Amino acid sequence: MRGDPYGSHRVISPKGLLPQAAERVDNSPTICSNEILIDVIALQPTATAFGRIKQECGGDVNRIAQEIQKIVDERGKFQDPVTKSGGILIGRIKEIGADLAGSTDAQVGDKIATLVSLSLTPLKINEITSIDVDTEQVFCKASAILFESGIYTKLPEDLGDQLSLALMDVAGAPAQVAVHVKAGDTVVVVGAGKAGLLCLAEAKKRVAPTGKVICMEYSPRQCEIVRSLGIADVVLEADAKKPLEALDIYQNALGDQLADFTVNTVSVPNTELATVLVTKDTGMVYFFSMSTDFAKASLGAEGIKKYVPMLIGNGYYPGHAEIAFDAVRREEKLRDYFTKRYCK
């Protein structure tokens, strides 16, 4: 049997939708001729989804595991019911449908990371073996389905599974920096988590030799990390949830030099207006975070008479995996930081 290339044949309810928008999908490990079956090694939920579940469960690992298992049992996929976001996974290819066997460079046994969201990926968890609350990675025995339209990347041997998994979850962010930033630009990155650090490193490369990269981060500790990595020209300790205060801090440091390109990577709500305020009218804002309220962003910009084109955080761009891998390979200090953080 051949399935729909986009996976609509797996939708249980509501019928007529694609898998991401569906409430429930068929996660049977019996594949169609144009699907790939994956033996899952680990999940990397989005920071937005994992953070919400962690908070709701009081940080208790057993409760977090139970909640993730419950979501997957009910939905046939991992899609946080509140944030609607998912994440990615790594695993080994177990079976390739006959119709795909000659049209893909993948082979049974290859270790891959999926580059489509868990919010649309049929997933059946048999057992959650461990959860690293610090890295937000979920190790499990599970099976997953990749549709014909699904994308993936083979894991690079030089970076290791855990680091590769961490990078692929946010690879779309530095890719958009690579596409939109040019030499001489002023770039602001709001948030210095995993995605933010990659964006800073990529921006530093793209704006050289005359541009400027600014990091705006709430955490004093994370600000120090950015300074130590040398991937920002200016590091501002500011709370983006307080837009006027954040703008004041920005202007005290940079005057009227607003951003040509601003990336918002934070995983908490209500940072939209600060992001818009530090961007010039002729610039652009990229909202990568799934915690973004796009009504607040667009209507808020309108309310302050700000014409700023905005990009939605699409996690896919052709070649985005290699852009993220190359950023880490290129920046030795960043690679060391990520290795200590994720490779345990």
6-167: what fold?
Answer: Quinone Oxidoreductase; Chain A, domain 1 (3.90.180)
Contact 287, 275 (CB under 8 A): yes
d(CA 104, CA 75): 29
> Could you tell me the CATH superfamily of domain 169-341?
NAD(P)-binding Rossmann-like Domain (3.40.50.720)
What letter would DSSP give residue 230? T
> What local confidence, expressed as pLDDT, does residue 313 receive?
81
What span, in angstroms and rounded, lies between the C-alpha atoms of 72 and 145? 13
How high is the pLDDT of residue 175? 95
Q: Record the tokens describing residue 78, joined without a space.
A: 């991992």
pLDDT, tens digit, 9 for 90 and up, residues 118-137: 999 999 999 999 999 999 99
Please tell me the predicted confidence (pLDDT) of residue 97.
94
**Region(s) of the chain under CATH 3.40.50.720:** 169-341
Can you give the pLDDT at residue 343?
Answer: 84
The residue type at 306: K
Token digits for 109? Answer: 């046994």
pTM for the model: 0.86
Mean pLDDT, the chain cut into blocks of 10 residues (344 residues total): 95 96 97 97 93 95 98 98 92 95 84 93 98 94 96 88 88 94 98 96 97 98 98 98 98 97 93 97 92 89 92 83 93 95 83
pLDDT score, position 288 = 92
For 331, the 3-state DSSP assignment is coil
Q: Where in the chain is the domain with CATH 3.90.180?
A: 6-167
**What pLDDT score was predicted for residue 292?**
85
- Map residue 207 onto helix, strand or coil: helix
Helix (H) / strand (E) containing 140: strand 137-146
